């Protein structure tokens, strides 16, 4: 199960990117910063009060980590950048000064200003608190209409028959609550790209999931999935995609033979696109907890520069892995 993680970290070492960790008040983040620097997975900027960090983490070696004190740094250039970006929304320079002092906002501004290549946070902040500065400052990449997320799911040995040798990509499980068919199509295309660039999946096979297979049920929710599937086919004609598909039809060959015998995806899907956030979030956590899968992510897709949001239940090892992924995104 660790093989793909080892490969991701090895690739991250080669690109030597600088990643900001804005939550120096969290000991998990501090330990992760030390691990990342020691293994040379990335260069690290840790934002926080150096005295507080040292007192709370006496056994942690941070000699290779750049620690930035958000309380004392000259915030003026960062505030100026924020003001220039947000003044049309009524933000005053004084408000920009106050906002730029916040560790997450400061970290995002460092990325926007080219002082770092990406940012990873959310260990002790909500997804909204993490993503909002990203939307306001970094914004979406050209030609991208929506920021989304996916998880790379590493299945245990007994389940390696599923996906691509036990590797599956789940999207969107963390950001978009109720995507419409256009947004769902964008999520599918972005998740397939992440499957290739980060997950090491050579041929993504995308299943647009539903409670119906091939219109076995009639409902607006099924129509949304079918419409999204058609949009994916139009926008990415070389991508293998099918839907609507129930989960068992998507990943189980015997069921696929019965329910979708003519499908090139059914029974062998390795990218699963959930119709809404409720199903996606529940789905990845079920597989993680009950099947013993390793969930890598959430991996954010669509920002102009890499920004990734952690689960608040993450471990230091999880943070290390997401930093490695962020470094690879920055290198693309």
Question: Is there a domain that residue 297 lies in?
Answer: no
Residue 245 lies in a domain: yes
In-domain check, residue 46: yes
| Rounded Cα distance, 52 and 73, in Å | 16
Same domain, 261 and 132: no
CA 47 to chain centre: 21
Q: Identify the pLDDT of residue 135.
A: 93
Considering the domain architecture, whether residues 158 and 285 belong to the same structural domain is answered as yes
Identify the pLDDT of residue 217: 87
Clarify whether residues 260 and 161 are in a common domain.
yes
Burial class (CB in 10 A: 0-12, 13-18, 19+), 196: middle
First-to-last C-alpha distance (Å) of the chain: 25
Q: What is the pLDDT of residue 145?
A: 82
Measuring CA to CA, how many Å separate 133 from each of 43, 112, 121, 224? 22, 11, 12, 30
β-bridge pairing 294-301 and 66-68:
unpaired
Domain annotation covers residue 109? yes
Residue 32, Cα to own-chain centre: how many angstroms? 18
Question: In terms of residues, how long is the chain?
Answer: 332
> Cα angle at 193 between 190 and 195, to 5 degrees?
110
At 291 the pLDDT is 93
63 burial level (CB within 10 Å; 0-12, 13-18, 19+) = exposed
Q: Are residues 108 and 234 in the same domain?
A: no
Tell me: do 75 and 183 sit in the same domain.
no
Query: Domain tally for the chain?
Result: 2
In a domain, 103, yes or no: yes
Q: Are residues 80 and 124 in the same domain?
A: yes
**Regions of the chain short of the pLDDT cut 50:** 1
51 and 126, same domain (yes or no): yes
**What is the domain extent for residue 320?**
3-139+303-331
Any idea what the CATH number is for the domain that residue 271 is in? 3.40.50.10750
Whether 298 is in a domain gets the answer no
Has residue 273 been placed in a domain? yes
- 67 plus 164 within the same structural domain: no
Q: What does the alpha-carbon distance between residue 123 and residue 215 come to, in Å, rounded to a whole number?
A: 41
Which CATH number goes with the domain that contains 48?
3.40.50.10950
Residues 210 and 241 in one domain: yes
Q: Based on the domain organization, do 255 and 158 belong to the same domain?
A: yes
Please report the pLDDT score of residue 2 as a whole number.
58
Strands 294-301 and 271-273: unpaired
Could you give the CA distance from residue 213 to residue 265 in angstroms, rounded to a whole number? 12
In this prediction, residue 311 carries a pLDDT of 81
How many angstroms separate the CA atoms of 121 and 28, rounded? 11
Answer yes or no: do 42 and 64 share one domain: yes
Residue 176 falls inside a structural domain: yes
pLDDT of residue 303: 93
Asked if residue 187 lies in contact with residue 179, where contact means CB atoms within 8 angstroms, the answer is: yes
- Could you give the CA distance from residue 129 to residue 147 in angstroms, rounded to a whole number? 15
Q: How big is the chain by its Cα radius of gyration, in Å? A: 21
The reported pLDDT for the residue numbered 60 is: 94
Residues 222, 162 share a domain: yes
CB 187 within 8 A of CB 206: no
């Amino acid at each position: 199960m660790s093989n793909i993680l080892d490969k991701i970290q090895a690739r991250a070492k080669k690109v030597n990117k600088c990643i900001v960790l804005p939550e120096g008040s969290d000991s998990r983040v501090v330990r992760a910063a030390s691990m990342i620097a020691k293994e040379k997975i990335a260069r690290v900027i840790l934002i926080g009060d150096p005295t507080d960090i040292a007192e709370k983490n006496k056994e942690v070696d941070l000699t290779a980590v750049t620690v930035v004190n958000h309380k004392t740094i000259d915030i003026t250039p960062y505030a100026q950048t924020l003001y220039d970006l947000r003044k049309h929304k009524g933000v005053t320079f004084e408000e920009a000064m106050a906002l730029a002092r916040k560790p997450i906002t400061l970290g995002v501004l460092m990325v926007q200003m080219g002082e770092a290549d990406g940012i990873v946070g959310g260990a002790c902040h909500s997804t909204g608190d993490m993503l909002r500065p990203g939307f306001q400052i970094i914004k979406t990449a050209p030609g991208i209409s929506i920021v989304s997320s996916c998880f790379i799911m590493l299945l245990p040995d007994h389940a390696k028959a599923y996906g691509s040798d036990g590797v599956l990509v789940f999207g969107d499980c963390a950001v978009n609550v109720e995507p419409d068919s256009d947004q769902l199509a964008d999520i599918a295309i972005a998740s397939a790209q992440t499957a290739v660039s980060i997950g090491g999946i050579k041929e993504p096979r995308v299943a647009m999931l539903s409670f119906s297979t091939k219109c076995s049920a009639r409902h607006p929710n099924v129509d949304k999935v079918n419409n999204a599937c058609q949009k994916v086919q139009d926008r990415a004609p070389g991508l293998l995609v099918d839907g609507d598909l129930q989960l068992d039809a998507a990943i189980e060959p015997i069921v696929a033979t019965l329910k979708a015998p003519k499908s090139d995806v059914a029974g062998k899907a390795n990218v699963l696109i959930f119709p809404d956030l409720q199903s996606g979030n529940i789905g990845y956590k079920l597989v993680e907890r009950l099947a013993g899968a390793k969930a890598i992510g959430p991996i954010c897709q669509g920002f102009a520069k890499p920004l990734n949001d952690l689960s608040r239940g993450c471990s230091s090892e999880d943070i290390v892995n997401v930093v490695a992924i962020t470094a690879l995104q920055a290198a693309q």
